[in-house]
Amino acid sequence: MKVLGIDPGYERCGYAIMDGDALMNYGVITTPKRLPFIERLAEIETDIQALITAHKPDLLAIEDLYFVQNITTGLKVSAVRGVIMLAAHKARMHVTEPKPTEIKKAFTGNGKADKHQIMQTAQILFGQNRTLTDDAADAIAVAFYGSNARFLV
């Protein structure tokens, strides 16, 4: 089963593709601050569509929103999630929305793991020698969760 894992954001949106236990691709979609928000959403949608077309994943695993102190940021990230989920729906993909603590527990064994622990785990599990951004590492963790969700209790 191929999984597209997403750590949603409108400035930086992490993505990772896993096929079974193999990490196939990962990175970060970035949008310029100078662009109007609607254009940033369009750019994210275009990039997600390209990933779906290129890799043909079966499942979208997208991190659920957690409490944010800035409601404006939370609303914008919700819009990004909506665009991505719509793209997945159009591609007839299944969708799972794990909570951050579920992802961290499945990936590191600690539901309260910090960014450094997630990056370190990604490097250890997948032999990534280059430095990972936290957005890419988070997306790898989300894809890992999606790849293993059927085994998690």
User: Which residues are known catalytic residues?
Assistant: 7, 63, 135
Q: Which residue, 66, 60, 70, 120, is CA-closest to 93?
A: 60
Sign, Cα dihedral of 37, 85, 4, 137? positive
- Sorted by sequence, the CB contacts under 8 Å of residue 91 that are 6+ apart come out as 52
Q: d(Cα 143, Cα 119) in Å, to the nearest integer?
A: 14
- Tally of CB atoms within 10 A around 31: 20
